[in-house]
Homo-oligomer: A and B are copies of this chain.
Amino acid sequence: MLFIVIHQAYELWFKQLHHEVDSIVAIMGKPALNDNSPELQTVVHRLNRCVTILRVLVHQIDIMETMTPMDFLDFRDMLRPASGFQSWQFKELEAKLGLKFETRHGQEYYTSQLKPHHVDIIKKAEAGHSLLQLLNSWLERTPFFDEQPNWNDFTSHEPLDGVHPFWSEYRYQFQQSLAEAEKGNLAAFDQLFLAKENKPQGLTLSAAANRAALFIMLYRGYPLLQLPFQLLNALLEIDEQLSSWRYRHMNMVHRMIGTRIGTGGSTGKDYLKAAADKHYIFREIAQLNSFLIERRRLPVLPQAVQQRLGFTAA
């Protein structure tokens, strides 16, 4: 009884999460978001609701843990191989957010655990526009750097060919801020933010999108960037809650069945552990923190850009 109720409760909340993510994807999929409309605010609000729901889902594991391992063992036999741990709805959600099959840990094991028509549903979700892709497009549309006249007075300590003066300067300051042992980080900077190719191997965001995201983090104090910053932050929160869920789930399984073979026919913990580590969806956003600099080094923006980032009459 308890086992069934818990799973129904999870399915219910997954349904709601799908509903929220679908509506977010619909808004983010528009060719342009009007900064003065409440659209972006709606996106942030709904992402934060997803975070709240995920927190409750993580907490619900407490209830599952009131089952004793021996209760669980009796149960295991009844379930195999359609495992309760392999919720296709959860995987479909991951796919909508942006997790690709290629990135998943244990690909064969993963499909072998699901019914074919569930695999189809997940593949279909992967084929659509994921939130990660739409985020990439939205970030790429950021207009500030293309408005050349605004940057006329801005000079860099070390201008680089074919690089916007702001980013030449930022790269210079970043280099200055590196400790001896960190010097290698400059190559990573160049790959993430200055790559010429569209998307370097293994990355999910383009250099232009990464630049926009870093700019948002750096200058979040300006009115126009506050909501975009909250959006990036909400995405990181979602990743963190998904990760907490996988992690607590993993510990729970370990407590219940130890290294016994899971209801899915393979060692649950090993699989879940590897998955918990690899399945960060917005990890490039999370990595941006590696490229921040001390506040005192932060380039002062030209007046025209500052005005651009502010309110009309204030």
Contacts and interface: CB of A to CB of B under 8 A. Distances in A.
B35 A49 contact: no
Interface stretch (A60-68, A99-107, A152-160, A197-205): A60-68
A179 B70 contact: no
Given A5-B12, A8-B12, A36-B314, A62 B66 contact: no
Interface string A233-271: 000100010010001000100111111110001100000
Interface in A292-310: 292-296, 306-308, 310
A84 interface: no
Contact of A312 (B12, B188, B291, B310): B310
Contacts of A266: 181
Interface string A269-301: 000000000000000001111111111100000
Interface stretch (A85-93, A124-132, A219-227): A219-227
A224 B311 contact: yes
Interface residues of A, number: 79
A26 interface: no
Contacts of A62: 52, 55-56
A94 B280 CA distance: 30
Contact of A311 (B36, B56, B256, B260): B36
Total copies of this chain within the assembly? 4
A196 interface: no
A16 B1 contact: yes
A125 B290 CA distance: 37
Contacts of A289: 69, 254-258, 260
A289 B71 CA distance: 12
Contacts of A292: 69-70, 73, 258
A36 B223 contact: yes
A97 to B, nearest CB: 18
Nearest to A180: B261
A295 B63 CA distance: 21
Contacts of A226: 41, 226-227
A313 interface: yes
Interface string A43-87: 001001100110110011011001001110110010000000000
Contacts of A256: 289
A9 interface: yes
Given A16-B5, A36-B311, A290 B258 contact: yes
Interface of A: 1-2, 5, 8-9, 12-13, 15-16, 19, 34-36, 38, 41, 45, 48-49, 52-53, 55-56, 59-60, 62-63, 66, 69-71, 73-74, 77, 179, 181-182, 185, 188, 217, 221-224, 226-227, 236, 240, 243, 247, 251, 254-261, 265-266, 286-296, 306-308, 310-314
